[in-house]
Structures are given as structure tokens and as C-alpha cells.
Amino acid sequence: MGEQDTVTRILAVDDEEQVLSALRRVFRGPGFKVEVATSGKAALDLMSGQAFDIIISDMRMPEMDGASFLARSIELAPSARRILLTGYSDQESTIRAINEGQVHQYITKPWDNQAIRDLIASESIIKQELSETAPEYITQLKSQVAEVGAELKQATTYADLARDELLKQVNTSIKVISGLVNHLVPTPHGFTQNVISHSVAMAKLLKMDKGFMRELRTAALLFQLGKLTLGDELRGAKIFQLTEEQSRDYQSYALMGANILTPISGLDFASKIIADHMENFDGSGPQHLKGKSISLGARILRLCVDFQQLISGLMVKDPLSTSDACEYLDKYSGKKYDPALTKLYIALVNKLADIHPESQDKLILPNELEEGMVISRDVTSNEGLFLLAKSTELNAALISKLRAYIVSHPQELNIFIQPQNEKEA
């Protein structure tokens, strides 16, 4: 068997040189011969002079897109296997390419190098089998099998595209809802993002699967949703300021948020996490769930939410440092929090502090501002309004304006100041 029979001849078409270079690297070796073209027209010119087993084309190209090129390639190379490079946002054009260009496979960017090599090897074998000389009735049977297989593959492709598009739309909707909640519920800058990242990090440490992490992330994005049902007084209150009766009303937001999400298909697991995340490990919470009857995701989320509330000044009068917040969590381990998860979470927080050491600046309350203090971080409102720039030295006039702003716009302002020795330096 000669080289012509053993080498898979590939034509790669893309208007981006770096993509073509990447494909050359993927198929570097004696088993492949790769030709490249930066446009559909250039590719058709190459095809008029030589044969190819595999044609890989990008969808988005100027002048002639991938669907149009692959459709025209059928006449020049009817037996070649056609593969489309596409993105998740190209659903409509990808379906057109499948219909018009008789695409056999599609690859989403970015690709996995080994996966694309395996795919090409498989398509090369299929192409070789279909090209072998055989009695006419066998050829007809192969053709029919290939057609049925193509139809099934096309149906699967439609389903995959629809699923990816639906998942993308759901994720976008969740982010929009989360953004709206954070706008309407007084939330310190970075609060929700920190809850999300810490929750997912805990799930990874516990070696939970991707499905669990996705649902936990959704719950972390939407855990405050039920607060929209609270009155303005409760919605903007600090937890330590609540009376016993107000505290019971406030804690109802978890169940209210879960109830809001109940009609939405596919969010059942995230809803359960949200519903349970205000429960205490000792059974003294709103629903009196105890221990491991509280869902794992809810026990994780409770730790991450309370830690952020502790260091933001929402749960206790003065914001706590990382070490003091961890001490608080440890103190209530077995009461509010799962003891095993608490140990793991404290270790995670301390590890993050080693990687990203706490700055020496200090978060202070507006009534603690003094002349001569230097702002160490930009001060912005919950709505993103810029109030004071980093490195601004406070004077009586600025302090007065900040306090007046807080009176007229009741909300949490995170004001960090430089340590005294750094200011003097």
C-alpha cells in the first residue's frame, strides 16, 4: 500500500492565519498531509488541482462563508468528508451549512487537540470504506446506511445546538436576574461574586461533579432573590439591627426565593439549595431541618454567605477581618454550620489569604472617618456611581459630603483607608 493510500489529505480553510497554524500543528506527522487556504475561493482553486479526504472549514469568513464554500465543494469533491468549525452563537448558519454543505461533523471553538485528531481519523476511515470498490448492491447499501447515518447525525446536531443555545439563554437570564437583585438589594461591591467563587471552590475541594457545581453556582447567583419580597426596611437592614420578630420575617426570604424559582423547569436543585441555606445545623432554623437533612449545597452556601456578611459589616456591627470572621464560623460550628464543612472552608479561606494576602488597608464606617486619612481604594455606590478616587486624602469638606450622601442614599459604602505607616511613607 503506497503513501497515497495511507496519508489522510486534509484541506483547512480559515481567514485567520493563527487558526491554520494551529491546525497544522495538530496534524503534524507522517499520517497527515495538510494544505491550507485563507478563503473559500482559494480553497476551491486548490481543489481543482488535487484531491482531499477531509475538508475543514471555518463558518465565519469574508466574501464566502463556510456554508457557501462547503456547498460548492461538493461538486469538486463529492466523496470528501466535510467538517465545520463553528461557535455556539452560529446556530442558524451552522444549520444552513449542514443542509446545504452536507456537513458530516462540526467542531466548536476552542477545540481539544486529541479529540479533533480522533474525529479526523474516524472520518478518514469512513471515507476510505465508502470509496472501496464493491459490488453495486453493496455500494447501494453503504450509500443508504450513510444517508441514514447522516440524517441521524444531523438530528443529533440539531439537538446539541438547541441544547447549547437553551443553556446559554438560561445562563444569561440567571445573570440578568442576579444583576437586578443586586441592584435592588443593598449589596457590598463584590459580595455576590465572592459568594459564587467560594462556593464553587468548596465544591471542587469536595470533588463534586460539574452538574452539582453548576447548580450551586446558580443558587449562589440567585440566593438573594427572595429579598425582593421583603419591605424596604427589612431589605436594607443590617442583620444585627433586627428585632427577634424582624429576624423571623427576614429569614423567610430563602423560602420565598425558592418559591419564585419553582415554576422554572431545570432549577429544582438550585431552588432546594436556596430554600435550605438559612437553616441551622442544630435544627433551630426556619424549617427546623437538622444536620445532613439540610442539602449539601445549602450548607456550603450558608458558610460562604455568612463569611461575606461578616467581613462586610452586614452581620455584626463592625466588619471583621478574615481571621476574626473564621473565628466566628468556628465558634458556631455545630450550631449554625456543618463542623466538617466549616473546617474545610476555614482552611480554604486561609489558603486564599496566603495566595492573595489581605491588604493592610482597613475597612471603616463613615462615622469613623477623620481628616488626614487616605482612601486606599476607589469608593463607589451600589449602583456603580464613582464617589472618591483612590489616594484621596480626606478633609472636613469631603467627610461632610460623604456623610451627607449616605444620609440621602441609605446604603452600605465600603470605605478603605491606608494604614498610618504607609501614609507617612
Residue 223: inside a domain: yes
* Domain match, 292 and 381 both: no
* Domain match, 334 and 374 both: no
Return the pLDDT at 277: 94
* Distance from C-alpha of 238 to C-alpha of 223, rounded to nearest angstrom: 17
* Domain match, 218 and 271 both: yes
pLDDT tens digits, 190-243: 788 889 899 999 999 888 888 898 889 989 988 988 888 888 878 777 887 888
Residue 227: inside a domain: yes
Q: List the Cα angle 190/191/194 in 5-degree steps.
A: 80
Residue 45: inside a domain: yes
Which of 132, 160, 178 lies at the terminal end of a domain, its last residue? 132
User: pTM for the full model?
Assistant: 0.48
* Domain match, 274 and 397 both: no
* Distance from C-alpha of 1 to C-alpha of 38, rounded to nearest angstrom: 33
* Domain match, 256 and 371 both: no
Which of 358, 381, 416 lies at the terminal end of a domain, its last residue? 358
Structural domains of the chain, count: 3
SS3 113: helix
Return the pLDDT at 122: 77
* Domain match, 194 and 109 both: no
Least Cα distance to 277 among 224, 317, 240, 329 occurs for: 224
Burial class for 362, CB neighbours closer than 10 Å (0-12, 13-18, 19+): middle
Q: How many CB atoms lie within 10 A of CB 228?
A: 16
* Domain match, 240 and 307 both: yes
* Domain match, 121 and 218 both: no
Question: Does residue 102 come out as left (phi exceeding 0), alpha (psi in the -120 to 50 range) or beta?
Answer: left
CB 120 within 8 A of CB 23: no
Long-range contacts from 253-258, C-beta under 8 angstroms, 24+ separation: 253/224, 253/226, 253/227, 253/229, 253/278, 254/223, 254/226, 254/278, 254/286, 255/226, 255/286, 255/287, 256/225, 256/226, 256/229, 257/222, 257/223, 257/224, 257/225, 257/226, 257/227, 258/226
Strand-strand pairing, 379-380 and 386-388: antiparallel
**% helix, strand, coil for the chain, step of 5:** 60, 10, 30
Helix (H) or strand (E) holding 417: strand 415-417
Helix (H) or strand (E) holding 106: strand 105-108
Helix (H) or strand (E) holding 130: helix 113-131
Beta bridge partners of 380: 386
* Distance from C-alpha of 273 to C-alpha of 215, rounded to nearest angstrom: 9
- Those residues of the chain that have pLDDT short of 50 are 1-4, 88-89, 133-135, 137-138, 163, 166, 422-425
Residue 151: inside a domain: no
* Domain match, 83 and 119 both: yes
Enclosing domain of residue 301: 186-358
* Distance from C-alpha of 392 to C-alpha of 28, rounded to nearest angstrom: 57
Sign of CA dihedral 378, 379, 384, 387: negative
Is there a cis peptide before residue 110, judged by omega within 30 degrees of 0?
yes
Phi, then psi, of 242 in degrees rounded to 5: -75, 145
The DSSP call for residue 358 is P
Least Cα distance to 20 among 42, 33, 38 occurs for: 38
* Domain match, 336 and 192 both: yes
pLDDT tens digits, 309-318: 999 888 887 7
Which of 341, 358, 375 lies at the terminal end of a domain, its last residue? 358
Instruction: Sheet with 8-13: list strands edge to edge.
Output: 32-37, 8-13, 54-58, 81-86, 105-108
* Domain match, 211 and 320 both: yes
